Amino acid sequence: MSGINKITLALLAMFASTAGSHALAADLDGAKLFADKTCATCHGKDANTPIMAGYPAIGGQSAEYALQQMKDIKSGARNNGQAEAMKVVMQLVSDEEMAALATYVSTLEYKPGMAVSRLDKTDAEPAATDAPMAEAKPVDSMEEQLRKIAAAGKTDASVAAPVAAVLPAAATTTPAAAPATGEKPAAAMTGKSGEGKNVWMAEGSEREAVMDLKPNLENGLEVYEVCSGCHLGEGWGKPDGTFPQLSGQHKEVLIKQLADIRAKNRDNPTMYPFALPEAIGDEQALADVVGYIESLPMNPDNGKGEWAEGTPEFEKGKQLYADNCVKCHGEDGMGKADKFYPRIDGQHYNYMLRQFEWIRDGKRRNANPEMVDQIKVFTDMDMKMVVNYASRLPVPKEDVAPSKDWKNPDFE
Q: 287 or 344, CB closer to ligand HEC?
A: 344
Residue 38 touches ligand HEC, criterion: CB under 6 A = yes
d(C-alpha 178, C-alpha 399), whole Å: 43
- Judging by beta carbons within 10 Å of its beta carbon (0-12, 13-18, 19+), is residue 133 exposed, middle or buried? exposed
If one asks whether residue 238 binds ligand HEC (CB under 6 A), the answer comes out as no
CB of 58 to ligand HEC, least distance (A): 5
Scan residues 119-138 and list those touching ligand HEC (CB under 6 A).
Answer: 129-130
Determine the Cα–Cα distance for residues 283 and 148; give it in Å rounded to an integer.
29
Distances in Å between the Cα of 104 and the Cα atoms of 70, 95, 129, 412 are 13, 14, 20, 29
Give min distance, CB of 68 to ligand HEC, in A: 9
The residue within the footprint of ligand HEC, chosen from 48, 53, 59, 78 (CB under 6 A), is: 78
What is the separation, in whole angstroms, between the first and last Cα of the chain?
Answer: 30
Q: How far is the CB of 27 from ligand HEC (least distance, A)?
A: 14
Q: Which of 8, 48, 82, 302 binds ligand HEC (CB under 6 A)?
A: 82
Name the burial class of residue 324, with classes exposed (0-12), middle (13-18) and buried (19+) by CB atoms within 10 angstroms of its CB: middle
352, 385, 393, 401: which one binds ligand HEC (CB under 6 A): 352
Min separation Cβ 179 and ligand HEC, Å? 25
Binding mask 215-234 for ligand HEC (x = CB under 6 A): --------x--xx-xxx---
The residue among 64 and 180 lying less far from ligand HEC, judged by its C-beta, is 64
Q: How many residues bind ligand HEC (CB under 6 A)?
A: 72
Cβ closest to ligand HEC, residue 92 vs residue 151: 92
Identify the residue among 4, 14, 35, 85 touching ligand HEC (CB under 6 A): 85
Instruction: Report, in Å, the least distance between residue 193 CB and ligand HEC.
Output: 15
Long-range contacts of 173-178 (CB under 8 A, 24+ apart): 173/206, 173/209, 173/277, 173/282, 173/283, 175/1, 175/277, 175/278
Site for ligand HEC in 156-185 (CB under 6 A): none
297-298-302 Cα angle (round to 5): 160
C-beta closer to ligand HEC: residue 120 or 183 = 120
- Separation between Cα atoms, residue 53 and residue 59, nearest integer Å: 16
Determine the length of the chain.
412
Q: Which of 14, 83, 189, 393 binds ligand HEC (CB under 6 A)?
A: 83
Residues facing residue 400 across a β-bridge: 298
Helix (H) or strand (E) holding 103: helix 95-107
Contact string (CB under 6 A) for ligand HEC, positions 359-378, x = contact: -----x-xxx-xx--xx---
DSSP code per residue over 329-369? H-TTS--BGGGTBPP-TT--HHHHHHHHHHHHTT-STTS-H
**DSSP label of 276:** S
Closest distance to ligand HEC from the beta carbon of 286 (Å): 8
- Please tell me whether residue 49 binds ligand HEC under the rule CB under 6 A: no
Q: Which helix (DSSP H) or strand (DSSP E) does residue 6 occupy? A: helix 2-18
For residues 242-261, which are near ligand HEC according to CB under 6 A? 243-244, 246, 249, 254, 256-258
The residue from 167, 325, 393, 401 that contacts ligand HEC (CB under 6 A) is: 325
Does 117 bind ligand HEC (CB under 6 A)? Our answer is no
Work out whether 302 is an interface residue with ligand HEC (CB under 6 A).
no
Cβ proximity to ligand HEC: between 80 and 164 the closer is: 80
